[in-house]
Amino acid sequence: LIPVFNAVENVELPLLLRGTAPKEARRRAVEMLDRVGLGHRAGHKPNEMSGGEQQRVTVARALVGRPAIVWADEPTGNLDSTMADAVMQLLRQLNEEDEQTIVLVTHDPGIGAAAQRVVRMRDGHLESDERRDARRPALVKTG
């Protein structure tokens, strides 16, 4: 996160860089902060937020542009279990409703259990590739 920007400015930045009109960028950034449970912290700078809140701002920034593929490396790593569940629910919702592809790297077996496909890597080599229920987001697990 950019330390001199508040949460909403950090989230809207990629939209502004892509040429989105400022009012639309702000609206979408506020909406995404609401989706990750941080609408009430939109005006706070990173140093005024907890590590978990900063992580959720980072998730919001990654998702606000609606990328075709979301590459998420330990997106729940700094979150308590309640917030981790909320972020995973948001990723599932984006996967199902917006048809976004989610590639998630984690060491947490609980997070892995929610995926429709689990690819296990060990020391740079494919260990297994397990397909599950198609309604779950894809996941890459290292370990």
Q: Give the pTM.
A: 0.75
pLDDT higher than 70, residue 71: yes
Q: Per mean pLDDT, which range of 23-27, 31-35, 38-42, 82-86 is the poorest?
A: 82-86
Which pLDDT score is estimated for 45?
98
pLDDT (tens digit per residue) in 15-32: 999 999 999 999 999 999
pLDDT higher than 70, residue 140: no
Q: Which two tokens stand for residue 87?
A: 């972020």
Averaged pLDDT, 66-71: 86
